[in-house]
């Protein structure tokens, strides 16, 4: 269970409040107007931003003072998910060992993960030699290797076309199923939210509302969600 216990995140003059919890393994789309604080919420859970008040807990354990890399979290950013000077394999390897002292067993696992996301044989390439979709797949392969129980997606597929995005969402669902991960995904597109399945957390006016069943919410939206959807 991920618990946001009276959490307040402050960035300059901006304040964001959240007070709800979500079961392990659930799927949550995070939607709301731009500038509403969707990325701020993910930064707080990932540990880049320390809450000015409140606690963040995972399975009862307090995460508030745990550094980002030691949290049970994998995060995919909008871009810069891969180091351009390292090969794809090395980028995946960083998910296993930060010092890249990889055993032969590690290498086998990396190749398996690459094959799993459809990048078989592309390990020796540099990120610049990958297409946008392939780079997203590589980042997801690292998430697969890390197998952390919380997967945060900060619009990593925003630059991809609709067909490719649908493909990535399918892959996200598969990765999440295999790692039994709780997924929080920022998106602007109601179709993406529906495709992810599960719940929707609406962010507006400095507050993250508790997640509510996406299908039901979109079928019968309250006024603020309605005005966002237009």
Residue 43 in contact with another protein, rule: CB under 8 A: yes
Residue 70 in contact with another protein, rule: CB under 8 A: yes
Residue 83 in contact with another protein, rule: CB under 8 A: yes
Vertex 57 angle, CA 55 and 62, to 5°: 75
- For residues 34 and 41, the answer to whether their CB atoms sit within 8 Å is no
Residue 224 CB, nearest approach to another protein (Å): 26
Residue 187 in contact with another protein, rule: CB under 8 A: no
Residue 108 in contact with another protein, rule: CB under 8 A: no
Q: How many residues does the chain have?
A: 230
Residue 52 in contact with another protein, rule: CB under 8 A: no
Sign of CA dihedral 216, 218, 220, 226: positive
According to CB under 8 A, which residues from 1 to 20 bind another protein?
A: 11-12
Q: Which position among 60, 99, 223, 230 is part of the footprint of another protein (CB under 8 A)?
A: 99
Cα gap 43→154, rounded to integer Å: 9
Closest by CA position to 120, among listed 129, 111, 128, 132: 111
Q: Of the ranges 78-86, 125-133, 160-168, 210-218, which one interacts with another protein (CB under 8 A)?
A: 78-86
Nearer to another protein, 98 or 163 (CB): 98
Cα gap 133→137, rounded to integer Å: 6
Residue 100 in contact with another protein, rule: CB under 8 A: yes
Residue 72 in contact with another protein, rule: CB under 8 A: no
- For residues 47 and 63, the answer to whether their CB atoms sit within 8 Å is yes
Q: Of the ranges 91-99, 177-185, 191-199, 209-217, which one interacts with another protein (CB under 8 A)?
A: 91-99
Cα gap 4→173, rounded to integer Å: 24
Residue 48 in contact with another protein, rule: CB under 8 A: yes
Residue 130 CB contacts under 8 Å (≥ 6 apart), including other chains: 88, 122, 138
Site residues (vs another protein, CB under 8 A): 11-12, 43, 46-50, 67-70, 73-75, 77, 80-81, 83, 85-86, 90, 94-95, 98-100
């Amino acid at each position: 269970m991920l618990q946001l216990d009276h959490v307040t995140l402050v960035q300059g003059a901006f304040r964001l409040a959240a007070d709800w919890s979500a079961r392990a393994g659930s799927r949550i789309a995070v939607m709301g107007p731009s500038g509403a604080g969707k990325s701020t919420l993910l930064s707080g859970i990932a540990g880049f931003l320390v809450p000015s008040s409140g606690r963040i807990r995972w399975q009862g354990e307090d995460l508030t003072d745990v550094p980002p890399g030691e949290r049970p979290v994998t995060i995919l950013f909008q871009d810069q998910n891969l180091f351009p000077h390292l090969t794809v394999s090395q980028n995946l390897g960083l998910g296993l060992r930060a010092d890249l002292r990889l055993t032969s067993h590690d290498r086998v696992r990396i190749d398996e993960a690459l094959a799993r996301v459809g990048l078989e044989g592309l390990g020796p390439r540099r990120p610049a030699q990958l297409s946008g979709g392939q780079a997203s797949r590589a980042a997801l392969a690292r998430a697969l290797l890390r197998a952390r129980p919380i997967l945060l997606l900060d619009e990593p597929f925003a630059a991809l076309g609709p067909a490719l995005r649908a493909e990535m969402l399918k892959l996200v669902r598969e990765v999440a199923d295999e790692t039994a991960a709780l997924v929080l995904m920022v998106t602007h597109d109601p179709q993406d939210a529906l495709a992810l399945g599960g719940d929707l957390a609406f962010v507006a006016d400095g507050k993250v509302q508790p997640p509510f069943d996406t299908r039901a919410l979109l079928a019968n939206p309250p006024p603020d969600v309605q005005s966002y959807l237009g």
